[in-house]
Amino acid sequence: MIQGLSPVIIIRTDNGLEFKNQVLKEYFDSVGISHQVSSVRKPQQNGVVERRNQTLLEAARTMLIFSRAPLFLWAKAIATVCYTQNRSIIHRRFNKTPYELINGKKSDISFLYIFGALCYPKNDREDIGKLGVKGDIGFLIGYFVDSCAYKVYNRRTKKIMETMNVTFNELSAMDFE
C-alpha cells in the first residue's frame, strides 16, 4: 500500500496467461485481493490501462521518429517514456509525480537528456592500449532504474551499453544513420 492511498482491493487484468497462474492466485488470496478478468477481445473493460498503453506508444513513436532511431529500439523507447513520465508528470489528484507517491520524495531529474541525443561514451570496458580509441559515438536510448547509468546505443559496435562515463551533445542533429 502506498502511504496515504487506499489499499488495493480488486485487480482487473486481461486474459493473458501471465496473470492466470496458481502462484499469483495464491498471492492475491493471501493478501485479500480480488482478481477479476476482462472479457476476451474487449479492451473497453481495461479503459485506463489501454489509454495509458496508447499514451506510452504514441510518445515512444514520436521519440523514435524525431531521433531517427531504428525501430528495433522500440522497447527501449517505451521504457524511457515510462521512466521519464513517472518522474515528471504530476498526478492532478495528489499534486505529485508517481515517483513521489511511491517513494515519498521528489526525484532528481537533472540527469535526464533527450532520447536519441548524440553522446560520446568513454571506452572504459576494452583494453584499448596506448593508442586505442578512448571514446565512441553513441546515442542515448534510456536509463537504468537500479543505477545512475545511461543506456547508450554504441554506433561502432552496434550494441547497447551501460555507462556513466558519457558526454552529451544535445544540440547536434540526432541521426542514427
Looking at residue 27, its pLDDT comes to: 92
Classify residue 48: in a domain, yes or no.
Answer: no
Classify residue 15: in a domain, yes or no.
Answer: no
pLDDT in tens, 2-40: 555 678 898 888 877 788 889 989 999 999 999 988 887
Nine cell digits for residue 158: 552496434
Q: Which amino acid is present at 5?
A: L
Looking at residue 20, its pLDDT comes to: 84
Classify residue 28: in a domain, yes or no.
Answer: no
Q: Determine contact, residues 35/13, Cβ cutoff 8 Å.
A: yes
Q: Which residue stretches of the chain have pLDDT < 70?
A: 1-5, 43, 124-128, 172-177
Number of domains in the chain: 1
Classify residue 134: in a domain, yes or no.
Answer: yes
Looking at residue 171, its pLDDT comes to: 74
Classify residue 49: in a domain, yes or no.
Answer: no
Where residue 142 falls (left for φ over 0; alpha for ψ -120 to 50; beta otherwise) is left
